[in-house]
Amino acid sequence: MTQDIVILAAGKGSRMKSAFSKVLHKVGGKAMVRRVLTTASTLPESKLHLVVGHQGEQVEANCQDFSANIVWQDNPQGTGDALRRVAPYLQADGATLTLYGDVPLIRASTLAKMTALSTPNTLVLLTIALDNPTGYGRIVRDAQGKVTAIVEQKDASPSQLAITEVNTGILLAPNNHLQTWLAALTNNNAQGEYYLTDVIAMAARDGVDIVTVNPDNAAEVAGVNDRVQLAALERELQHQQAIHLMQNGATLLDPSRIDVRGELTTGHDVVIDVNCVFEGKVVLGNGVEIGPNCHLKDCIIGDNTVIKSHTLIDDSQVGESCDIGPFARLRPGTQLSNKAKIGNFVETKKARIGEGSKVNHLSYIGDTDMGANVNVGAGTITCNYDGVNKHLTQVADNVFIGSNTSLVAPVQIAEGATIAAGSTITKQVGEKQLAFARARQTNKDNWPRPVKK
């Protein structure tokens, strides 16, 4: 069956105490509502509808790349009211799956189990048994075990409050029945709202089959109302990702101290020390070792490379068997060939560094095309910015650059050249030439030192 998927994201979220919409708060580096939309997008033959209300402009702007139908719920009056706003857009011969923008960890596999049971005369309900069901709507069944209704906490009798099977809010209903049920909803309840859950009793009355599906765990259907719950789901997601990484051959020295805020792919025999953060799309080759307190974003790391502690790598490509850090920073556009070395307190930006080349310490290499087997001494900088434009420094193979050298771009250093320590190079250096550019030293006798006033 074709599907309409409705994501409810109109709530105010006042307990978040935030200047922006609750559903835009992030779990695992991604806004909660975007996580739900991403999962929903994996289901085939589906049309997305996003219901927005409070700060809806923010939500709409953040989610526009999903091409969802935006439906406004001004003055919201419950989940049933939200679905009634979407009703004119629903496909006549399909089914509607209702999801929530603040329930970010729902899995596509669980939703697929629901859709597999969908028929024109079947309503599929996602339920779960909780040790403490307080606050949830209770699943009421008859003597034969068939679902007959959902009773909200505030409307439940003492015997109904003892029920531990609860409604997650996620349901899949056939549109040929749903349109009639939505039109028949009333707000005659303790909250004065239109409950979507009232359609369960209508389905039972109309002889529609009501079947239930259970999620793999409670975190999958846990919602967020405040920052404490947000933090709990963050930890749950990180725990799940850590398990996945270890099952795929990575060693995490402390699985509770890793943060994956994007997509991390690892080869075999990868070792990751504590407090490392991964953002965007990061790929680690076989045998990569990452020291503690590193931050990697949108980068590819080749096999057997070692990244030492407190290193930052952003939008860069690193070859095989490289040695990086500690306290190194690879900025966007950096490309390291195999066996290159970037040492402590070295920063690179938009730099191609050839095979076996070394920038060992205390240097800045930006807008540079560097060949193989180059040795860069401590304190070397490429002066790539003239205040308006950036310029390129070109260093050929087998060049030796002495300590405390300034290479004023644009400049070319030919193969096998040597730059003397303390030089400021502004002109081309030829093959195997020695270049030195120092002011003449002058010594003055009996020079009076300044004294503190």
Residue 155 backbone phi and psi in degrees, to 5: -105, 0
> What would the two tokens of residue 390 be?
């950036």
CB 354 within 8 A of CB 340: yes
Same fold? 3-221, 227-435: no
Burial of 443 (0-12, 13-18, 19+ CB in 10 A): exposed
Predicted confidence at residue 222, as pLDDT, reads 96
DSSP 289-305: EE-TT-EEEEEEE-TT-
Report the distance separating Cα 406 and Cα 385, nearest Å: 12
**In this predicted model, what pLDDT tens digit does every residue of 234-280 receive, in sequence order?**
999 999 999 999 999 999 999 999 999 999 999 999 999 999 999 99
Q: How confident is the model at residue 58 (pLDDT cuts 50, 70, 90)?
A: very high
Residues within the annotated binding site? 8-11, 22, 73, 78-79, 100-102, 137, 152, 167, 225, 331, 349, 364, 375, 378, 384-385, 403, 421, 438
Cis peptide before 326 (omega within 30 of 0): yes
Q: Residue 311: pLDDT above 90?
A: yes
Q: Give the distance from CA 88 to its chain's centroid.
A: 34
Closest CA to 394 of 433, 354, 434, 421: 354
Domain boundaries along the sequence of the chain? 3-221, 227-435
Q: How confident is the model at residue 441 (pLDDT cuts 50, 70, 90)?
A: confident
Rg (CA), the chain: 31
Which fold, 227-435? UDP N-Acetylglucosamine Acyltransferase; domain 1 (2.160.10)
Q: How many other CB atoms are there within 10 angstroms of residue 390's CB atom?
A: 13
Task: Give me the residues paired with residue 434 across strands.
Answer: 418
Q: Which residue has the tokens 């030192």?
A: 449
Based on the residue annotation, tell me whether 361 is a catalytic residue of this protein: yes
Residue 253 DSSP code: S
**Single pTM value for the model:** 0.91
Report the distance separating Cα 82 and Cα 53, nearest Å: 10
Q: Residue 224: pLDDT above 90?
A: yes
> What would the two tokens of residue 218 be?
């409670």
Predicted confidence at residue 225, as pLDDT, reads 94
Instruction: Count Cα neighbours of 411 within 13 Å in the Cβ-side half-sphere.
Output: 20
Predicted confidence at residue 440, as pLDDT, reads 83
Q: Residue 398: pLDDT above 90?
A: yes
> What average pLDDT does the chain have?
95
Predicted confidence at residue 75, as pLDDT, reads 85
Of the candidates 25, 49, 54, 361, the residue annotated as catalytic is 361
* CA distances for 175 relative to 93, 181, 201, 357, angstroms: 6, 10, 16, 65
* CA distances for 26 relative to 20, 151, 234, 256, angstroms: 12, 31, 9, 19
Q: How confident is the model at residue 85 (pLDDT cuts 50, 70, 90)?
A: very high
**In this predicted model, what pLDDT tens digit does every residue of 144-166 receive, in sequence order?**
999 999 998 888 999 999 999 99
CB 365 within 8 A of CB 382: yes
Burial of 155 (0-12, 13-18, 19+ CB in 10 A): middle
DSSP 7-29: EEE----GGG--SS-GGGSEETT
Q: Is 61 helix (H, G, I), strand (E, B) or coil?
A: helix
State mean pLDDT over 379-390: 95
Q: Residue 315: pLDDT above 70?
A: yes
Q: Residue 74: pLDDT above 90?
A: no
State mean pLDDT over 360-378: 98
Closest CA to 329 of 320, 339, 316: 316
List, in order, residues 6 or more apart from 375 with CB less than 8 Å away.
357, 358, 399, 400, 401
Predicted confidence at residue 1, as pLDDT, reads 66
Predicted confidence at residue 364, as pLDDT, reads 98
**CATH, range 3-221:** 3.90.550.10
Q: Residue 438: pLDDT above 90?
A: no
**In this predicted model, what pLDDT tens digit does every residue of 411-434 receive, in sequence order?**
999 999 999 999 999 999 999 999
Residues within the annotated binding site for acetyl-CoA? 378, 384-385, 403, 421, 438
State mean pLDDT over 392-410: 98
CA angle centred on 411, ends 405 and 417, rounded to 5°: 65
Cis peptide before 410 (omega within 30 of 0): yes
State mean pLDDT over 312-327: 98
CB environment 4-25: b (16+ within 10 A), e (fewer): bbbbbbbbebeebeeeebbbbb
Predicted confidence at residue 448, as pLDDT, reads 87
Q: How confident is the model at residue 10 (pLDDT cuts 50, 70, 90)?
A: very high
Entry field: residues in the chain:
453
Q: Is 283 helix (H, G, I), strand (E, B) or coil?
A: strand
Residue type at position 81:
D
Predicted confidence at residue 183, as pLDDT, reads 96
State mean pLDDT over 406-412: 97
